[in-house]
Amino acid sequence: MMATESRVRTGIDGLDEMLQGGFPENHIVVVMGSFGTGKTTLALQYVIEGLKKGEPCIFISLEEDKDSITQNAASFGWDLSGAIEKKKLGLFKLEPSDAKTTITRIKSELPKFVKSFGAKRVVLDSVSLLNMMFTDENERRSNLFNLCQLLKSTGATTLITAEVKDENPRSSRDGLAEYTADGVLLLQSDESKEGGEVQLTVRILKMRRTAHSRRVKPYSITDKGLVVHAGADVF
């Protein structure tokens, strides 16, 4: 048997193919994209894949509240309520308005909680809102670095979503997450040349400790979630 590094499948076949099996275990992966590109959907899919395998998962939202996320998931046919009841899924909404409490809770309680919950997968949606809680650039940087260290120490594999800058859609809004993370996926929506349909594309900008595809692949958001067309090329 080859001693290959364990992979954590995203549950999106085409993407797992691009990743040669999935995220390397214990990675922190940032999914960057502008609003509506499917970051939250991808994050939900990642959690659903974990739940299918019986892995405890944690989903922390700074954006949508719990009901909205549950309903959102239900529209794709994914049941979160059952998993929450069975204590397989921890779904939390943190209030960006209550910055101090939120940051303290994330720092002091999250790592302990991830460990005691036995979470294999953690989602933070989105880090941009977390970063907005800091006015000071150095504080923001050290907090993010610290958070990533804490998450890594839990042994979980973490997916973090980030909004991109309007003026530079290949960089996250704060320009930090992609440097701290082990991996970066970029979701983009482009007007097609003929006008009309918007083309959604995904690419892997960075993934430490693994070979991966560097190609740009089209994807769609269907009623079953994201579908990455790994066999197709973008023209």
Point out which residues bind Mg ion (CB under 5 A): 40
Rounded Cα gap, residues 203 and 185, in angstroms: 6
CB of 149 to Mg ion, least distance (A): 25
**The entry of Mg ion, ligand ADP, none that residue 134 binds, CB within 5 to 8 Å by partner kind:** none
**Cβ count near 21 (within 10 Å):** 17
Q: List Cβ neighbours of 128 (8 Å cut-off, separation of 6 or more).
A: 161, 162, 163, 172, 173, 174
Which of residues 147 and 162 has its CB atom nearest to Mg ion in the complex? 162
Q: Which of 25, 23, 59, 26 is nearest to 184 (CA)?
A: 23
Q: How far apart are CA 215 and CA 117, in angstroms?
A: 37
- In this structure, what are the phi and psi dihedrals at residue 182, rounded to the nearest 5 degrees? -80, -25
3-state secondary structure of 199: strand
* CA pair distance 138, 28, nearest whole angstrom: 21
What, of ligand ADP, Mg ion, none, does residue 76 touch, CB below 5 to 8 Å by kind?
A: ligand ADP
Q: How far is the CB of 38 from ligand ADP (least distance, A)?
A: 4
Nearer to ligand ADP, 71 or 101 (CB): 71
In the complex, the smallest distance separating the C-beta of residue 188 from Mg ion, rounded to whole angstroms, is 15
Helix (H, G, I), strand (E, B) or coil at 62: coil
Helices 110-117, 99-108: axis angle to 10 degrees equals 50
Residue 38 or 50 with smaller CB distance to ligand ADP: 38
Q: Would you say 35 or 145 has its CB closer to ligand ADP?
A: 35
CB of 208 to Mg ion, least distance (A): 25
Other C-beta atoms within 10 Å of 28: how many? 23
Nearer to ligand ADP, 28 or 164 (CB): 164
CB of 221 to ligand ADP, least distance (A): 4
22 binds, among Mg ion, ligand ADP, none (CB under 5 to 8 A by kind): none
Binding site for ligand ADP (CB under 6 A): 33, 35-41, 75-76, 221-223
CB of 142 to ligand ADP, least distance (A): 27
40 vs 131 by CB, closer to Mg ion: 40
Q: Are 225 and 39 in contact (CB under 8 A)?
A: no
- The entry of ligand ADP, Mg ion, none near residue 145 (CB within 5 to 8 angstroms by kind) is none
